[in-house]
């Protein structure tokens, strides 16, 4: 009986290992942010108040894509700050962001613009939300992420 349980355990391990190898984690391509795109002033949607927005770190998980490129799943940390002396009411802020894929000749292959919406409660001075996005980066290319100026 012990031998049968041991064989069943090995069989299940092989089965689960086979499933895990299909989404094999690989080394991520270079991911960068230009200095001028790491910080931005953004005017809120509701009260028109200015918010200081900063990139606050990036976490990437990468897997091989069928094309030979790499699927890059990013979690981008943001730091949003406002001056409560200029207003402390509840507000909504749309943070404009963009990504670009750049080849090894420094030519932009593609780019994408998107926004991330954050709600601020009354009296809230700072928030540290995260935005999640996914890109396919071709071989010998890099991913650039940036805040867009909105002021």
Q: Does the CA dihedral 104-106-112-114 come out positive or negative?
A: positive
Give me 105's structure tokens: 């000749």
Collapsed DSSP state (helix, strand, coil) of residue 18 = helix
- Are 79 and 130 a contacting pair, CB within 8 Å? no
Give the residue extent of every domain in the chain.
24-147
Please report the pLDDT score of residue 23 as a whole number: 64
User: 56, exposed or middle or buried, with CB in 10 Å at 0-12, 13-18, 19+?
Assistant: middle
E-state strands within 8-107? 31-32, 39-43, 50-64, 70-82, 91-103
Query: What share of the chain in percent tops pLDDT 70?
Result: 83
Under 8 Å CB-to-CB from 103, ≥6 apart: which residues? Answer: 109, 138, 140, 141
Model confidence pLDDT, tens digit, residues 23-51: 678 999 999 999 989 999 999 988 999 99
Model confidence pLDDT, tens digit, residues 81-99: 999 999 999 999 999 999 9
Give me 20's structure tokens: 């895990």
Q: Which CATH architecture has domain 24-147?
A: Sandwich (2.60)
């Amino acid at each position: 009986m012990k031998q049968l349980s041991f064989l069943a355990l090995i069989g299940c391990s092989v089965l689960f290992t086979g499933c895990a190898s299909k989404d094999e984690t690989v080394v991520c391509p270079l991911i960068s942010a230009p200095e001028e795109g790491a910080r931005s002033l953004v005017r809120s949607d509701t009260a028109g108040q200015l918010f200081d927005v900063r990139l606050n770190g990036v976490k990437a998980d990468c897997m091989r894509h069928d094309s030979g490129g790499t699927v890059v799943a990013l979690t981008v940390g943001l730091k949003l700050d406002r001056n409560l002396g200029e207003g402390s009411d509840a507000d909504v802020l749309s943070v404009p962001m963009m990504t670009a894929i750049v080849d090894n000749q420094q030519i932009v292959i593609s780019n994408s613009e998107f926004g991330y919406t954050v709600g601020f409660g009354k009296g809230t001075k700072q928030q540290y939300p995260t935005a999640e996005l996914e890109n396919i980066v071709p071989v010998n290319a890099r991913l650039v992420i940036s805040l867009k100026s909105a002021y």
